[in-house]
C-alpha cells in the first residue's frame, strides 16, 4: 500500500485560495457553501507559468472514479512559499492535511478577508523564536494583523500591521505604515524573505 503524501500547511487549498479568481479571459467564483476534500492519485502535472495545473483521480481498484483538475498560482509565487515541482509528481498519492489546526511555522499561518476596499490578513501559529534581528523574543501566541488598502484610483496601495503578542509585548505594536505607488511599466522584483535553515 502506498504511503499518503500529505500536502503540508499549504495543502491542496493553497491552489484555490481566492474566492473569486480572474482567468485570462473569464471570471469564475467558488461555491463557499460546500467544502470538498479531494484525495487520490496525481495523474498529470503541468508545471509552467502563468498557472500550474495537475489532475487527481480518486478511482481505486479499477473502479470508476472522478478526475479533478486543480489550477494554481504561478511557479514564482509557489516557490516563494516553498512549493517546488518535485513535491508533486505523477503517480503520487495526495490528500489534504487537516487545516483546522495547522502546525506552527516560521512564517505562520495566514487567513485573509475583505472589509470594503481593505484586505485584512491575520497570521498566527508562528514558531517561537526571535521577532526581529535584535533578538526580541516572540512566543507561539503571537498574531500579526496586516491591512492592505487600494486607493480609489487604484494607483496607491497602503499597508499597515499590528503585532499582538501578550507574552512579549504589553500592548499591540504598530508597524510602520508603507505606501506603494503604481508606476506604469515598473516591474516589481521578487521578495524572498525566508532564510533557509532559520
pLDDT of 120-174, one tens digit each?
999 988 888 887 778 888 888 999 999 999 999 889 999 999 999 999 999 999 9
Beta bridge partners of 57: 41, 67
What pLDDT is stored for residue 159 in this prediction?
92
Q: Please say if the pLDDT value at position 16 is more than 70.
A: no
What are the start-end ranges of the H helices in the chain? Answer: 75-80
In this predicted model, what pLDDT tens digit does every residue of 22-81 receive, in sequence order? 444 455 555 666 666 777 888 889 888 888 888 888 766 556 678 888 888 788 878 877
pTM for this prediction? 0.49
Cα separations in angstroms, 153 against 20, 28, 118, 178? 21, 24, 14, 18
List, for residues 184-195, the tens digit of each pLDDT value. Answer: 888 877 766 655
- pLDDT of 198 reads 47
Contact 121, 111 (CB under 8 A): yes
Query: Read out DSSP for 155-171?
Result: SEEEEEEEEE-TTT-SS
Beta-bridge mates of residue 115: 118
What is the rounded CA–CA span in Å between residue 1 and residue 125? 33
pLDDT of residue 30: 59
Grid look-up 471570471 returns: 27
- Residue 112 CB coordination number (10 Å): 14
Amino acid at each position: 500500500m502506498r504511503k499518503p503524501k500529505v500536502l503540508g500547511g499549504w495543502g491542496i487549498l493553497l491552489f484555490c485560495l481566492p474566492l473569486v479568481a480572474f482567468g485570462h479571459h473569464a471570471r469564475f467564483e467558488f461555491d463557499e457553501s460546500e467544502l470538498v476534500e479531494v484525495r487520490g492519485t496525481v495523474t498529470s502535472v503541468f508545471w509552467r507559468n502563468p498557472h500550474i495545473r495537475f489532475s487527481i483521480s480518486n478511482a481505486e481498484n479499477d473502479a470508476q472514479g472522478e478526475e479533478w483538475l486543480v489550477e494554481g498560482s504561478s511557479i514564482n509565487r509557489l516557490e516563494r512559499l516553498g512549493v517546488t515541482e518535485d513535491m508533486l509528481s505523477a503517480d503520487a498519492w495526495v490528500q489534504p492535511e487537516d487545516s483546522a489546526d495547522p502546525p506552527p511555522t516560521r512564517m505562520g499561518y495566514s487567513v485573509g478577508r475583505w472589509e470594503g476596499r481593505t484586505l485584512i490578513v491575520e497570521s498566527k501559529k508562528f514558531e517561537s523564536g526571535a521577532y526581529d534581528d535584535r533578538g526580541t523574543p516572540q512566543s507561539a501566541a503571537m498574531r500579526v494583523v496586516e491591512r492592505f488598502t487600494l486607493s480609489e484610483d487604484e494607483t496607491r496601495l497602503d499597508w499597515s500591521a499590528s503585532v499582538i503578542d501578550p507574552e512579549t509585548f504589553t500592548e499591540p505594536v504598530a508597524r510602520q505604515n508603507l505606501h506603494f505607488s503604481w508606476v506604469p511599466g515598473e516591474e516589481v522584483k521578487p521578495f524572498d524573505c525566508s532564510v533557509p535553515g532559520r
